[in-house]
Amino acid sequence: MISQLIEKIKKTNAPICVGLDPMLSYVPGHVVKKSFDAYGETLEGAADAIWQFNKEIIDHTCDLIPAVKLQIAMYEQFGIEGLIAYKKTVEYCHEKGLTVIGDAKRGDIGSTSAAYATGHLGAVQVGSNAYRGFDVDMLTVNPYLGTDGVKPFVDVCNTDDKGLFVLVKTSNPSSGEFQDRLIDGRPLYEWVAQKVMEWGAASMDGAYSNVGAVVGATYPEMSRILRKLMPATYFLVPGYGAQGGTADDLKHCFNEDGLGAIVNSSRGIIAAYKQDKYKQFGPEHFGEASRQAVLDMVADINSVL
């Protein structure tokens, strides 16, 4: 799977993914009104507004980008209707030729992780038939339970040609409470990085592994260290833009070949129309504002590579 993503990154010259992580407050009023008129102020109405919002952004950006990332929590908050919108968005992105990263941060004991891996990446057997649940291409995984919790995902990567991004050094302010703790003289995130490389060795796809790492743009010195430690590991890089990470901060996430990382931006793109920089587009043309935000992000990142 990682080789397919790399080909799309090379084709678009855009090492980025758009985070389709919508809050209802991001959706312009005219879109919300239309959905509420059709379904009422209900979970179904909210989920339809999210879906319509996503579709517009995808339509305006899909030719510019290789991938999207969907944070499942933003859909789960609307219950089953929200998950239907999540599934519809995944399918629509696939129709547009995009790689879909499911941001679900799953990870549990072995049998539970196996069920998560089946539901998000693989196929479930129902009698004589096999069905794909959410069917994303890549999934974020929490490694806190160790190999027992990660190996089932790696197994599905190998059987179904899928990919992972394992949390290593995250972009949030309190990440250091655990991740920076020293164990035998080394921070925990380095120990996790070592395990990610071990897991990844069992799922190589060309020069890079299908088992990638989440490495935040907000800690550039740590990303520099991790890049040296993990030369064959692809990085999913959150924290750019709205969280404070700059293009200069994240350049250390890339290898000398200009590959090795894909940078996510969520509200900086999907809610671009709310920013002063893009206010000329207005809520009615929020998709065009998102398109311009993608163009600006790509230019910004490529300027330091």
Q: What is the CA radius of gyration of the chain?
A: 19
CB 148 within 8 A of CB 107: no
Distance between CA 63 and CA 95 in Å, rounded? 12
Distance between CA 16 and CA 293 in Å, rounded? 12
Name every residue whose Cβ is closer than 8 Å to that of residue 162 and which is 6 or more positions away in sequence: 1, 121, 122, 136, 137, 138, 139, 156, 210
What residues are annotated to the active site?
Answer: 105
* The residue type at 305: L
Torsion angle defined by CA atoms of residues 86, 91, 93 and 96, in that order, rounded to the nearest 10 degrees? -160
Name every residue whose Cβ is closer than 8 Å to that of residue 125 and which is 6 or more positions away in sequence: none
Distance between CA 150 and CA 168 in Å, rounded? 13
Q: How far is CA 26 from CA 46, 133, 137, 201, in A?
A: 12, 27, 26, 40
3-state secondary structure of 17: strand
